[in-house]
């Protein structure tokens, strides 16, 4: 095995190179955050459309209100305000299988459908297999948005308008038809499915999808911490949580 | 500067040495968890009394109910149950200035009082200085336990009964008298002050006090996660927190 | 669904109850750290033998030298020494599938073998299935300890000597025979397999095995941080790592 | 005290509002990542110049090579590849006093100089006070870039070119003169000082400066994790670190 190397960054006395490009002379003032993020992730510059799609996904994932992730970050910030990084880390640790798992699983289906000779048949087979195991199809259904997830529709439109929509967006459409055929009714396509489809079509690998969500959530959590700095909600969050789960005495929950 | 080394561990094909001692032949089956923890921390074996004091402090700090730390751990576990380490990390990130800061600050006072020629005068001077800045004396006062903090009294008794109580426990007594004289009434000595005094008298350095709390809380958090595995409280904790902090519309909290 | 409750802790003005038991009057000074940890985890007191086994496993898992986990904790401590909890969290986040996954996977096999009508046949079937998929049997093999893992042998002896060894230890023995039969030679049983077997026989659930490792590692990491406080190795660790992975220029590792 | 509220997000069956603005209809496809991040942080839209400055700072802070933060993230990813969020959290936990402390401390000086009646005199007084305590002036000096930090000059030029440079950038210039007068030579102004000055002039509060760094580093860490997915450097990083800190035997580093 050859010894490993890195291509991401190199500093000299006069310059800082990111993948061979001068940070002060060629990047600063020329690229947006999302453009450099894309370049560092993939080694190539995004097109304007790919940047628009990445920006849109980062925006769609940034803020979802007082999620478990945001509550953990605020509770931690109130406990250790001298270490903001700990509060952000606590919040990001909630970005796991429950939060982004569906998007990752949907991406897996889309890659298979897009790569199949007969995508529609592959979509039907995948949906059939999930249903036969009693599992839901990732990317479909929403507890609040019943007829349409407003983010999903917008994300797909952005990808289409910028000419980025391609094989994986088409695969999502095939998947939606297979889901509707199986269920006997239209099932709302949610944001997790749309995010997966448009990021894949924007050239970002499925394996890094969780990383996109982490960057977006990181920004969202900083806004929560700023709100906490200006008017602390932490005691109310804590006592609201605590009051919801009373003490039950010793007899309870003994190991069988 | 000589190059740095480590004394903690060395593995050979036949043995594993911890600070020069054979793990399988000299430690396993002979030491308790707290004894090895003390040995690795300090490089010497604790006396029976020192072990009793360390065990007592670990126990006193292990479990405080649905603290912000425990709530964060449970919220994170419910969000990423496949990564228990993330839930524990999220909980431990709340062990900061608010949770153990008072204990660390009290330890600082005790070290100064114990090292002074006239400890009583030093205690009075320290209390006077804190009060003149409008600050509370760390280690004293409790919102719930008004007459006596039941853990504090018990920890001091354990240290006394095992012959461990020494200069720092005496310093805590001098500090208590100075606090009472300043306040014109007895102020309850809380567990954070007692933990600081008895750990210092047990030979553990003030700088590592937070580490003792982290180990204790780590064990406590695992019990919370086990309870969460058996009967999940996470949704109730989340919704209880969320409901306590309603949406206020856009006008609010704009930067001045 | 009935609303969730907790049994772990309840504070009153005069007392603190852990699973219904008074912390100051019934626990402090009477229980060791491991005894209370076991009680909080399971809702019952451990036997002396079960405590000995839990202590032994916590000790066996505490310290493995400059593992990735310890290096991360030290690098983080050197970057943010004001937030020790962050360094510990960073270290614990490395306790994942690579570090404890084998122990958890071995526990799964042991539960199945112990629950089978014909344990030996079940062991052979499980080993055969793993080998047919080209996978290693978790709990067996070690890169350094070729003839015997000194910790594994000692852990099993402790469980036997205290009368704790039972169905899962026997299952491990059946698994070892099946492994040897399949390989045509004895394959060393490593500590991860022994830890799984003796903790299960000590009455601790397989689902919480990672939590035991987290508590042990937490204590180990505090000793690393203490060593870092006394003589910082962080710059050497960092530069040693950095020098091992040189910059390769831009062409490398572009997305295909 | 009135009960706390949040302004950040509210979901209805048909819409998602961020600070009162519709995410699908008014934000997606119209704002860049940095624009929404600024809006959520402060409650107002940034000017084009403020966005350019925020983008430039996020870019300047994103990637610094194999820093302790990046090494921790890669070590953790290699230990628990199933939990990318843990690796990112481990990396972000190194964003503490050592990494961003100087920038935060410099921001504090700039706020005082910008608010003083005679800024030049205030700058001289602050530098004099630091030097009399033997402390370095935060924002000045660099181990590698001796004549000019290429990022600092570029950040200040961007702020100037976009008309964002104002009181805090001027304060940095006054501070630079005071440093040079005190030292008897020009001392290089580094990126931490420039970042502080231009973010303050872009209307972002000093208290949230660490949060800007955390978002930038989060993106940088995802690129490191992507590189790790494509060609793992983790074993080399680990062994390079480990080899730099040999075992020294038991006698060493015993507590005094």
- Number of domains chain A contains: 2
Ramachandran sector of residue D150 (left: φ over 0; alpha: ψ -120 to 50; beta: rest):
alpha
D6 vs A219: CB contact, 8 Å cut-off? no
Pairwise CB contact (< 8 Å): B99 & A82 = no
Confidence category of residue C252, pLDDT binned at 50, 70, 90: very low
**C-alpha D172: how far from chain center:** 17
Residues of chain C found within 8 Å of residue B222, distances taken between Cβ atoms? 37, 41, 208, 211-212, 214-215
Closest-CA distance, B121 to chain C, in angstroms, reads 31
Contact A253 B89 (CB under 8 A): no
> Higher-confidence residue: D3 or A120?
A120
Element containing residue D17 per DSSP (H, E)? strand D16-18
Put simply, the answer to whether C214 touches B95 (Cβ < 8 Å) is: no
Residue D155: which CATH number?
1.10.230.10
- D155 CB neighbours in chain A (<8 A) are 28
Q: Quick one: pLDDT at residue D124?
A: 97
pLDDT over 70 at D252, yes or no: no
CB spacing of B255 vs D43 below 8 angstroms: yes
C244 and A3 in contact by Cβ < 8 A? yes
Q: Which of D6, D9, D44 sits opposite B254 (nearest CB)?
A: D44
**Amino acid D165: pLDDT:** 97
Q: How confident is the model over C43-64, as a mean pLDDT?
A: 97
> Whose CA is closest to D165, among D126, D102, D216, D114?
D114
CB B167 within 8 A of CB B201: yes
Within 8 A of A250 by CB-CB distance, chain C residues are: 7, 17, 19-21, 43
Measured between beta carbons, which residues in chain A are less than 8 angstroms from residue D59? 23, 27-28, 31, 33, 36
Residues of B in contact with D89 (CB under 8 A): 86, 89
| Residue C165 counted as domain residue | yes
Q: Which residues contact C189 (CB under 8 A, 6 or more apart)?
A: C139, C140, C149, C152, C172, C176
Neighbouring chains of D at 3+ CB pairs under 8 Å are A, B, C
> Per CB distance under 8 Å, which residues of A are interface residues toward C?
3-7, 9-10, 17, 19-21, 42-44, 80, 82-83, 85-86, 89, 203, 205, 244-255
User: Which residues of chain D does B205 touch, with a Cβ-Cβ cutoff of 8 Å?
Assistant: 255
Residue ranges of chain B whose CB lies within 8 Å of a chain D CB = 3-7, 9-10, 17, 19-21, 42-44, 80, 82-83, 85-86, 89, 203, 205, 244-255
In angstroms, what CA-CA distances link A54 with A185, B137, D227?
31, 52, 19
Residues C103 and C192 occupy one common structural domain: yes
Task: Tell me if A161 is assigned to some domain.
Answer: yes
Element (H, E) at B16: strand B16-18
| Interface contact D253-B3, CB threshold 8 A | no
- CA end-to-end span of chain C: 50
pLDDT digits (tens, 9 = 90+) for A90-137: 999 999 999 888 899 999 999 999 999 999 999 999 999 999 999 999
Token pair, residue C121, equals 């046949």
Whether the pLDDT of residue A67 is over 60: the answer is: yes
State the smallest CA–CA distance between residue A87 and chain C in angstroms: 10
Tell me, what's the pLDDT at A170? 98
- Please indicate, yes or no, if residue B129 is contained in any of the structural domains: yes
Residue C37: domain span: 9-45
Is A256 part of any domain? no
Closest CB to D89: pick one of B7, B82, B89: B89
pLDDT at A63 over 80: yes
For the cut 70, the answer to whether the pLDDT of residue A251 exceeds it is no
**pLDDT by residue (tens digit) across B199-238?**
999 999 999 999 999 999 999 999 999 999 999 999 999 9
pLDDT at B251: 54
* Same domain, residue pair D106 and D188: yes
Please check whether residue C18 is in contact with residue C8, taking contact to mean a CB–CB distance below 8 angstroms. Answer: yes
Query: What 8-state DSSP symbol labels residue A206?
Result: G
For A227, which of B80, B82, B253 is closest by C-beta distance? Answer: B253
Q: What residues in A contact C17, CB-CB < 8 Å? A: 247, 250
Show the tokens assigned to B206: 């003030």
pLDDT for position C63: 97
Mean pLDDT computed over A47-58: 98
Helices (runs of H) and strands (runs of E) counted in chain D:
11, 3
Chain B residues with CB inside 8 Å of D82's CB? Answer: 82-83
- Residue D46, Cβ density class (10 Å: 0-12 exposed, 13-18 middle, ≥19 buried): buried
pLDDT recorded at residue D255: 44
The pLDDT value given to residue D256: 42
Q: What is the mean pLDDT of chain B?
A: 94
The answer to whether D49 and D201 have CB atoms below 8 angstroms apart is no
Which of A81, A93, A238 lies closest to B90 in CB terms?
A93
Nearest to D10 among B19, B205, B247 (CB): B247
User: According to the model, what pLDDT value does residue B148 have?
Assistant: 82
pLDDT the model gives residue C251: 53
Q: How far apart are CA B99 and CA B95, in angstroms?
A: 5
* Interval D33-58 mean pLDDT: 98
Number of neighbouring beta carbons within 10 Å of residue D147: 10
Give the model's pLDDT for residue D13. Answer: 83
Q: In what order do the strands lie in the sheet with B21-22?
A: B10-11, B16-18, B21-22
Residue pair D106/D193 in contact (Cβ under 8 Å)? The answer is yes
In this structure, how many other beta carbons lie within 10 angstroms of the beta carbon of residue D251?
Answer: 10
Residue B80 burial class via C-beta count within 10 angstroms: exposed 0-12, middle 13-18, buried 19 and up: buried
Residue pair B91/B73 in contact (Cβ under 8 Å)? The answer is yes
- The ipTM is 0.95
pLDDT value of residue C104: 94
> What percentage of chain A reaches a pLDDT higher than 70?
96
Query: Do C135 and C195 belong to one domain?
Result: yes
pLDDT at C14: 85
* Residues D33 and A58 sit within 8 Å (Cβ to Cβ): yes
Q: What angle do CA A15, A21, A22 make, to 5 degrees?
A: 30
Condensed to tens digits (0 to 9), the pLDDT of residues B132-151 reads 999 999 999 887 777 788 89
The band of B253, judged by pLDDT with boundaries at 50, 70 and 90, is: very low
CB B179 within 8 Å of CB B136:
no
Per the prediction, chain C carries an average pLDDT of 94
Q: Is there a domain that residue A39 lies in?
A: yes
pLDDT at A252 over 50: no
Structural domain includes residue A3: no
Q: Identify the residue among C93, C103, C247, C253 best suited for mutation to test binding to D, counting D beta carbons within 10 A and taking the highest.
A: C93
Q: Which chain A residue has its CA at the smallest distance from D83's CA?
A: A96
Query: Average pLDDT in the C154-174 region?
Result: 98
Q: Which of B96, B241, B244 is the closest to A80 by Cβ?
A: B96
Which residue of D lies nearest to C87 if distances are taken between CA atoms? D93
pLDDT exceeds cutoff 70 at D1: no
Q: Do A85 and D63 make contact, defined as CB atoms within 8 angstroms?
A: no
- Averaged confidence pLDDT in chain A: 94
Touching subunits of C (3+ CB pairs, under 8 Å) are A, B, D
pLDDT digits (tens, 9 = 90+) for A149-167: 889 999 999 999 999 999 9
| CA proximity to C28, closest of B178, B216, B4 | B216
Q: What is the pLDDT of residue A202?
A: 98
Q: Give the one of B20, B247, B253 whose C-beta lies nearest to D249's C-beta.
A: B20
pLDDT tops 50 at residue B256: no
Query: Which pLDDT belongs to residue A146?
Result: 72
Maximum Cα–Cα distance across chain D = 69
Instruction: Specify whether C110 is located in the same domain as C188.
Output: yes
- pLDDT for res D5: 96
Task: Report yes or no on B7 lying in a domain.
Answer: no
Q: Are residues C102 and C183 in the same domain?
A: yes
Indicate the pairing of strand C16-18 with strand C21-22.
Answer: antiparallel
Confidence at residue A254, expressed as pLDDT on a 0 to 100 scale:
43
- Which of A65, A79, A255 would best serve as a mutation to test chain B binding (most B beta carbons within 10 A)? A79
The predicted pLDDT at position B228 comes to: 98
pLDDT of residue C255: 44
Predicted confidence band at C206 (pLDDT cuts at 50, 70, 90)? very high
Chains with ≥3 Cβ pairs under 8 A against B? A, C, D
Does B181 map to a domain?
Answer: yes
For residues D175 and A69, what is the distance between their CA atoms, to the nearest angstrom? 40
**Interface residue of A4, A7, A22, A76 to substitute, partner C, most C CBs within 10 Å:** A7
Q: d(Cα C30, Cα C40) in Å, to the nearest integer?
A: 15
What confidence category does residue D251 fall into, taking pLDDT thresholds of 50, 70 and 90?
low
Average pLDDT over residues D207-223: 98
Helix (H) or strand (E) holding A38: helix A33-42
Q: Ranked by mean pLDDT, which of B91-105, D142-156, D232-246 comes out on top? A: D232-246
> Cα–chain-centroid distance for residue A235?
29
Q: What is the mean pLDDT of residues C120-136?
A: 96
Give the residue on A whose Cα is nearest the Cα of C250. Answer: A19
**SS3 per residue for chain C:** CCCCCECCCEECCCCEEECCEEHHHHHCCCCCHHHHHHHHHHCCCCCHHHHHHHHHHHHHHHCCCCCHHHHHHHHHHHHCCCCHHHHHHHHHCCCCHHHHHHHHHHHHHHHHHHHCCCHHHHHHHHHHHHHHCCCCCCCECCCCCCCCCHHHHHHHHHHHHCCCCCHHHHHHHHHHHHHHHHHCCCCCECHHHHHHHHHHHCCCCHHHHHHHHHHHHHHHHHHHHHHHHHCCCHHHHHHHHHHCCCECCCCCCCCC
- Report phi then psi at B203, rounded to 5: 90, 10
A104 and A184 share one domain = yes
**Minimum Cα–Cα distance from B252: chain D residue:** D7
Handedness of CA D142, D148, D154, D156 (dihedral sign): positive
**Residues A194 and A116 both lie in one domain:** yes
Of B7, B245, B252, the CB nearest to D250: B7
Give the chain C residue whose CA is nearest to the CA of A87. C86
Tokens describing residue B133:
């800045």
CA dist., res. A78 & res. A238, Å (int): 10
pLDDT over 70, % of chain D: 96
| pLDDT of B245 over the 60 cut | yes
**Residue A256 predicted with pLDDT over 50:** no
Give the residue from B85, B92, B94 with the most A CB atoms within 10 Å of its CB, the best one to mutate. Answer: B94
- B150 or A235: which leads in pLDDT: A235
CA distance C94 to chain A (A): 13
């Amino acid at each position: 095995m050859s010894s490993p190397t890195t291509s991401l960054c190199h500093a000299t006395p006069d310059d800082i190179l990111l993948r061979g490009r001068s940070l002060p002379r060629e990047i600063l003032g020329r690229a947006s955050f999302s453009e450099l993020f894309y370049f560092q992730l993939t080694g190539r510059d995004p097109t304007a459309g790919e940047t628009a799609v990445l920006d849109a996904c980062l925006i769609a994932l940034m803020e979802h209100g007082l999620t478990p992730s945001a509550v953990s970050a605020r509770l931690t910030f109130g406990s250790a305000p001298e270490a903001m990084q700990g509060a952000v880390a606590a919040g990001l640790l909630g970005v796991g299988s429950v939060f982004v798992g569906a998007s990752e699983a949907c991406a897996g289906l889309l890659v298979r459908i897009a790569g199949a000779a007969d995508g529609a048949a592959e979509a039907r087979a995948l949906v059939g297999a999930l249903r036969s195991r009693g599992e839901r199809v990732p990317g479909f259904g929403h507890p609040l948005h019943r007829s349409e997830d407003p983010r999903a529709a917008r994300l797909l439109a952005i990808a289409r308008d910028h000419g980025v929509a391609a094989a994986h967006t088409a695969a999502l459409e095939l998947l939606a038809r297979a889901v509707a055929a199986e269920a006997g009714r239209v099932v709302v396509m949610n944001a997790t499915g749309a995010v997966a489809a448009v990021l894949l079509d924007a050239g970002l690998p499925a394996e890094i999808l969780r990383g996109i969500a982490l960057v977006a959530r990181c920004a969202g959590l900083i806004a929560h911490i700023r709100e906490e700095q200006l008017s602390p909600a932490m005691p109310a969050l804590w006592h609201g949580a605590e009051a919801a789960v009373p003490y039950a005495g010793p007899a309870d929950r003994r190991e069988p």
